[in-house]
Structure 1
Amino acid sequence: MTEISTGLLAGKIAFITGAGRGIGAAAARLFAREGATVLLAARTEHELKTVTQQIRTAGGTADYVVCDLADGDSVRAAVARTVELWGRLDIAFNNGATIQPPGPLDEATEADFDQVYAVNLKGVWQSLAAEVAAIRATAKTGAVVNTSSIGSLHSNPELPVYGAMKRAVNSLTESAAATYGPEGIRVNGIAPGTTLTEMIQAWESASPGVINSLVADCPLRRAARPEEIAEAAAWLLSDRASYVTGVTLRVDGGTWV
Structure 2
Amino acid sequence: MSTTTPTGQFTEYAAEFAGKTALVTGSASGIGLATARRLGRGGANVVIADYNQQGAEEAARTLKDEGIKAAAVALDVTEPASAEAAVRFAVDTFGGLDLAVNNAGIGGASAPTGEYDIDVYNRVVRTNLDGVFYSMRYELPVIEAAGKGGAIVNVASILGSVGFAGSPAYVAAKHGVVGLTKTAAAEYAAKGIRVNAVGPGFIETPLLKDMDKAAYDGLVALHPAGRLGHAEEVAELIVFLLSERASFIAGSYHLVDGAYTAV
Structure 2 CA distance for aligned equivalents of residues 178 and 143 of structure 1? 13
Structure 2 CA distance for aligned equivalents of residues 9 and 180 of structure 1? 21
Percent identity between the two aligned chains: 35
Structure 2 CA distance for aligned equivalents of residues 119 and 131 of structure 1? 17
Report if aligned partners of 1:90, 1:139 keep a CA contact under 8 Å in 2: no
Aligned partner of 1:222 in structure 2 is: 227
Offset of 1:32 from its aligned partner? Answer: 0.7
**Is 1:45 paired with 2:53?**
yes
Return 191-200 or 100-109, whichever deviates more.
100-109
Aligned partner of 1:148 in structure 2 is: 156
Offset of 1:139 from its aligned partner? Answer: 4.8
SS in 2 for 1:209: helix
SS in 1 for 2:120: helix
SS in 2 for 1:168: helix
Letter paired with 2:215: V
Report if aligned partners of 1:32, 1:60 keep a CA contact under 8 Å in 2: yes
Runs of 4+ in 1 over 4 A off after TM superposition: none
**Is 1:22 paired with 2:30?**
yes
Aligned partner of 2:237 in structure 1 is: 232
Question: C-alpha deviations, 1:195-222, integer Å up to 9, x for none?
Answer: 01111334x25xx633322221222111
Aligned partner of 2:257 in structure 1 is: 252
Q: How does 1:88-107 map to 2 (within 5 A)?
A: 88-107=96-115
Letter paired with 1:249: H
Structure 2 CA distance for aligned equivalents of residues 61 and 105 of structure 1? 44
TM-score, structure 1 normalization: 0.93
Aligned partner of 1:241 in structure 2 is: 246
Report if aligned partners of 2:223, 2:257 keep a CA contact under 8 Å in 1: yes
Report if aligned partners of 2:57, 2:73 keep a CA contact under 8 Å in 1: no
2:92 to 84, 91, 98: 84
Question: C-alpha deviations, 1:8-28, integer Å up to 9, x for none?
Answer: 423221000001111111111
RMSD (Å) for aligned C-alpha atoms: 1.4
Return 99-108 or 75-84, whichever deviates more.
99-108
Structure 1 CA distance for aligned equivalents of residues 244 and 39 of structure 2? 13
Letter paired with 2:232: E
SS in 2 for 1:143: strand
Aligned partner of 2:131 in structure 1 is: 123
Aligned partner of 2:201 in structure 1 is: 193
Structure 2 CA distance for aligned equivalents of residues 11 and 243 of structure 1? 22
Offset of 1:107 from its aligned partner? Answer: 2.6
Structure 1 CA distance for aligned equivalents of residues 104 and 117 of structure 2? 22
Structure 2 CA distance for aligned equivalents of residues 140 and 125 of structure 1? 22
TM-score, structure 2 normalization: 0.91
Relative contact order, higher structure (CA 8 A, sep 6+): 1
- Structure 2 residue runs without a partner (length 5+): 1-12
The size of the alignment, in residue pairs, is 250
Offset of 1:134 from its aligned partner? Answer: 1.0
Question: C-alpha deviations, 1:59-100, integer Å up to 9, x for none?
Answer: 110001001011110010101111111111110000000111
Letter paired with 1:225: H
SS in 1 for 2:48: strand
Report if aligned partners of 2:101, 2:152 keep a CA contact under 8 Å in 1: yes
Question: C-alpha deviations, 1:99-151, integer Å up to 9, x for none?
Answer: 11122112321110110111111110010111101101225310000000001
Report if aligned partners of 1:8, 1:235 keep a CA contact under 8 Å in 2: no
2:175 to 152, 155, 167: 167
SS in 1 for 2:261: coil
